[in-house]
């Protein structure tokens, strides 16, 4: 058998595709950009149901044939994750997932398994998150059968090799000790604690005690309970024939070992209500790192008419790079930050977050924050211009087809629909809903959902340089929340106390 390299195969294929004769250049080129003309963008959203198959055991499979290259991609996602962990074993879900891949299988020790995957030029990975777990396979068509066998060995009968587990624990422990080296990691950690509470599954972090509590038996138990076909949604694309592939796939999903447990879907919502105010963590770093924002409602109603206006509002305010208001003022006009953005987080599983983020030199943190919040209040009180509205709507609508460009993107999107209980028809209406948004709609949703006076304002940096503010007296930190500040001590990286 020829030894392949997945990266080399992919490089050769893409090089071959690109090494085609170039078309002749048309001499009739306009002399000015405004003279350019474009064909009208024509795109029909694919019907998700046409990709959908249901196996005899109820597993939903989204399959798209694409014979352009001899490559196959398969993704499995499951409704499970860290929300199912016992409180004293935080990190169990992610450790189970990572060890499924790195810990070998019942048939193969880890080293042998790794060599076999490399020999086939395949890529196999597994992951575990807060409310989703999964695994991925990428392989070349000639080695599909052998690669599938290895992939489902990982899913069905992982070995959880004790030696590899101890190595992984050592790596985690080493990384844990470096938590406070990165100001960005501190910022994200404390942000989640402030918004969701330290005990909510989405903000919990593994401690040394948690790690020591987790045994190989815990991994085996978690896998047996939650890594099961009844929890799976599968997306597969590439150089395959549906008629022959689906029976092959089904054969791997029957007679699954062990017994499952209730995944308690959906996960629990946070019970904590964030307290608005300024919070600071002292850290000797060159620039202050900032997050400003608040929780927004859980978005599991896919028919909510406010969704499209919010997306347009977000684009204008802070998510479109250099064309957004916050970026223009904070970076382009004032030069206070390399990047500044505002995002409105739609989350169907838990409450989302409206979040302004940037980093700036310590003396200009207050001014950048003041400007960003001014822009929030402005979009709540003034109609956006017709030009801004048109640019935002066209940008969103015209970039939409890229979500479905490849067979892989299409099946992954529709599998995500199934995971979220989102109708495939949602995408059929999406562009029309965006194009129908008015300036009045943007004003209405900005006023309804944005709460600039109720934000959590988190600062990581050198407070004695940040607090006095702008040297030209244009802003100080005392202007926010009456100057009241809550100091959050830097936590012990191993205990998070």
Residue 478 burial by Cβ neighbours in a 10 Å radius (0-12, 13-18, 19+): middle
Residues 173 and 239 in one domain: yes
Do 322 and 403 belong to one domain? yes
The domain in which residue 478 lies consists of 277-486
Position 18 scores a pLDDT of 47
**Residue 298, in any domain of the structure:** yes
Q: How far is CA 242 from the centre of its chain?
A: 30
State the chain's mean pLDDT as an integer. Answer: 94
My answer on whether 363 and 476 are in the same domain is yes
The number of folded domains in the chain is 2
Q: What is the pLDDT of residues 70-127, one digit of tens each?
A: 999 999 999 999 999 999 999 999 999 999 999 999 999 999 999 999 999 999 999 9
Of 192, 218, 252, the domain-final residue: 252
Q: pLDDT over 90 for what percent of the chain?
A: 91
Regarding predicted confidence, which is higher, 38 or 134? 134
Asked if 98 and 246 sit in the same domain, the reply is yes
pLDDT digits (tens, 9 = 90+) for 254-299: 999 888 999 999 999 999 999 999 999 999 999 999 999 999 999 9
pLDDT of residue 440: 99
For residues 377 and 478, state if they share a domain: yes
Query: pLDDT value at position 259?
Result: 87
- Residue 29: per-residue pLDDT: 76
Position 27 in a domain: no
At 9 the pLDDT is: 55
Position 410 scores a pLDDT of: 98
Note the pLDDT of residue 1.
Answer: 44
Do 218 and 147 lie in a common domain?
yes
Residue 227 sits in the same domain as residue 343: no
pLDDT digits (tens, 9 = 90+) for 179-231: 999 999 999 999 999 999 999 999 999 999 999 999 999 999 999 999 999 99
Residues 313 and 248 placed together within one structural domain of the fold = no
Considering the domain boundaries, does residue 32 fall inside one? Answer: no
Residue 6: the pLDDT is 54
Query: Residue 14 falls within a domain, yes or no?
Result: no
pLDDT at 3: 55
Instruction: Mark whether 216 and 297 lie in a shared domain.
Output: no
The model's confidence at residue 32, banded by pLDDT at 50, 70 and 90, is confident
> At residue 4, does pLDDT exceed 70?
no
Residue 17 pLDDT exceeds 90: no
Res 10 pLDDT > 90: no
For position 429, which CATH number holds?
3.30.830.10
Let me know whether 335 and 406 are in one domain: yes
Give residue 7's pLDDT.
57
Note whether 235 and 308 are same-domain residues: no
User: Averaged over 443-468, what is the pLDDT?
Assistant: 99
Q: Residues 392-436: pLDDT tens digits? A: 999 999 999 999 999 999 999 999 999 999 999 999 999 999 999
The predicted structure's pLDDT at residue 42: 81
Predicted local confidence at residue 38, as pLDDT: 58
% the chain with pLDDT above 70: 93
204 and 331, same domain (yes or no): no
């Amino acid at each position: 058998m020829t030894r392949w390299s997945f990266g080399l195969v992919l490089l050769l294929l893409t090089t071959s595709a690109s090494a085609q004769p170039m078309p002749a250049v048309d001499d009739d080129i306009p002399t000015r950009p405004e003279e350019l003309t474009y064909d009208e963008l024509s795109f029909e959203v694919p019907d998700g149901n046409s990709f959908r198959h249901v196996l005899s055991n109820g597993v939903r499979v989204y399959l798209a044939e694409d014979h352009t290259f001899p490559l196959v991609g398969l993704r499995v996602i499951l409704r499970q994750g860290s929300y199912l962990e016992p409180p004293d074993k935080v990190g169990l879900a992610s450790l189970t997932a990572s060890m499924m891949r790195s810990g070998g299988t019942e048939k193969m020790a880890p080293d042998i398994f790794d060599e076999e995957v490399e020999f086939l030029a395949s890529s196999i990975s597994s992951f575990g998150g807060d409310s989703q777990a999964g695994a991925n396979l990428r392989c070349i068509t000639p080695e599909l059968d052998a690669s599938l066998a290895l992939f489902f060995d990982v899913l069905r009968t992982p070995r959880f090799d004790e030696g590899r587990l101890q190595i992984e624990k050592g790596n985690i422990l080493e990384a844990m000790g470096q938590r406070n080296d990165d100001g960005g990691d501190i910022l994200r950690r404390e942000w989640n604690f402030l918004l969701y509470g330290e005990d909510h599954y989405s903000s919990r972090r593994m401690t040394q005690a948690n790690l020591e509590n987790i045994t190989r038996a815990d991994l085996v138990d978690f896998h047996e309970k939650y890594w099961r076909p009844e929890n799976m949604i599968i997306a597969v694309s590439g150089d395959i024939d549906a008629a022959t592939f689906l029976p092959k796939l089904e054969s791997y999903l029957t007679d699954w070992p062990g017994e499952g447990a209730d995944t308690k879907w959906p996960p629990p919502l946070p019970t904590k209500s964030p307290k608005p105010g300024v919070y600071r963590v002292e850290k000797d770093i060159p620039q202050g790192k900032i997050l400003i924002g608040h929780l927004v409602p859980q978005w599991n109603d896919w028919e909510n008419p406010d969704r499209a206006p919010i997306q347009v509002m977000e684009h204008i305010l802070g998510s479109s790079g250099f064309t957004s208001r916050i970026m223009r003022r904070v970076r382009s006009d004032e030069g206070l930050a390399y990047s500044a953005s505002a995002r409105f987080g739609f989350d169907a599983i838990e409450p989302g977050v409206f979040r302004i983020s940037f980093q700036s030199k310590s003396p200009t943190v207050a001014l950048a924050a003041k400007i960003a919040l001014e822009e929030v209040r402005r979009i709540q009180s003034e109609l956006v211009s017709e030009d801004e509205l048109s640019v935002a709507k066209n940008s969103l609508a015209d970039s939409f087809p890229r979500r479905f460009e490849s067979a892989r993107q299409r099946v992954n999107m529709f599998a995500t629909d199934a995971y979220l209980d989102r109708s495939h028809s949602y995408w059929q209406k999406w562009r029309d809903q965006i194009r129908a948004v008015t300036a009045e709609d943007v004003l209405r949703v900005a006023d309804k959902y944005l709460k600039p006076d109720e934000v959590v304002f988190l600062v990581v940096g050198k407070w004695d340089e940040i607090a006095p503010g702008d040297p030209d007296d244009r802003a100080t930190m005392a202007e926010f929340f009456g100057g009241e500040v809550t100091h959050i001590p830097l936590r012990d990286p191993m205990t998070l106390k």
